[in-house]
Structure 1
Amino acid sequence: MSCSLGGCQLSPNFDVIILVDTSTSVKKKNVKHVITFVKKLLSKAEIDQSVVRVGMATFSTNVHIHFHLNSYETKAEILSAADNITFTHGDTNTASALFSVRKHMLTAENGDRPEAKNIIIIITDGVSTVNTYRTVVEAQLARESGAHIFAVGVGLAKTSVLKSIASHPPDDNTFTVAKFGDLVDLETLTDRLFERCGEFGHLALTFGLCLSLRNTTPFSHMSGELVTPGNAQPLISVVTTF
Structure 2
Amino acid sequence: MKSYFPCGYCVVLLLCDVWATYPPSGLDLQHITSQSYAQSRTLARPPHRTLNPAKTDSQCRSRPLDLVFIIDSSRSVRPGEFEKVKIFLADMVDTLDVGPDATRVAVVNYASTVKIEFLLKDHLNKPDMKQAITRIEPLAAGTMTGLAIKTAMNDAFTEQSGARPRSRKISKVAIIVTDGRPQDQVEDVSAAARASGIEIYAVGVDRADMRSLQLMASIPLDDHVFYVETYGVIEKLTSKFRETLCGVDPCAMGHDCDHICVNSNASYYCKCRNGYILNTDKKTCSMKQVKAAVVEDPCKCEARLVFQKQTQNAIQQLTAKHILII
- Give, in whole Å, the separation in 1 of the partners of 2:251 and 2:99: 15
Is 1:41 aligned to residue 95 of structure 2?
A: no
- Give, in whole Å, the separation in 2 of the partners of 1:17 and 1:211: 29
Identity level (%): 25
Unaligned runs of 5+ in 1: 1-10, 196-204, 219-228, 230-242
Q: Which amino acid aligns with 1:136?
A: E
Does structure 1 retain, via aligned residues, the 8 Å contact 2:91–2:238? no
Indicate the residue corresponding to 1:69 in structure 2.
120
User: Is the alpha carbon distance of 1:40 and 1:211 closer, same or farther for their aligned partners in structure 2, counting shifts above 3 Å?
Assistant: farther
Q: TM-score, normalised by structure 1?
A: 0.74
Q: Which protein has the larger Cα radius of gyration, Structure 1 or Structure 2?
A: 2
Q: Secondary structure at the match of 2:146?
A: helix
RMSD in angstroms over aligned alpha carbons? 2.4
Indicate the residue corresponding to 2:206 in structure 1.
155
User: Is the alpha carbon distance of 1:210 and 1:48 closer, same or farther for their aligned partners in structure 2, counting shifts above 3 Å?
Assistant: farther
Is 1:120 aligned to residue 174 of structure 2?
A: yes
Q: TM-score, normalised by structure 2?
A: 0.56
Give the helix-richer structure, 1 or 2: 2
- Give, in whole Å, the separation in 1 of the partners of 2:251 and 2:119: 26
| Bigger RCO of structures 1 and 2 (CA < 8 A, at least 6 apart) | 1
Unaligned runs of 5+ in 2: 1-61, 264-269, 271-326
Alpha-carbon distance, 1:89 to partner: 1.4
Deviations 1:123-164 (A, max 9, x none): 0001112xx2x3111111110000000100000364111111
Q: Which amino acid aligns with 1:65?
A: I
- Which residues in structure 2 correspond to 1:9-28 (within 5 Å)? 12-28=63-79
Does structure 1 retain, via aligned residues, the 8 Å contact 2:179–2:208? no
Does structure 1 retain, via aligned residues, the 8 Å contact 2:217–2:225? yes
Deviations 1:50-100 (A, max 9, x none): 110001110000001010000111111111111111112110000110000
Is 1:53 aligned to residue 72 of structure 2?
A: no
Q: Which amino acid aligns with 2:133?
A: A
User: Is the alpha carbon distance of 1:163 and 1:53 closer, same or farther for their aligned partners in structure 2, counting shifts above 3 Å?
Assistant: same
Does structure 1 retain, via aligned residues, the 8 Å contact 2:88–2:238? no
- Give, in whole Å, the separation in 1 of the partners of 2:240 and 2:150: 23
- Which residues in structure 2 correspond to 1:78-117 (within 5 Å)? 78-113=129-164, 114=166, 115=168, 116-117=170-171
Aligned to 2:229, which of 170, 173, 178?
178
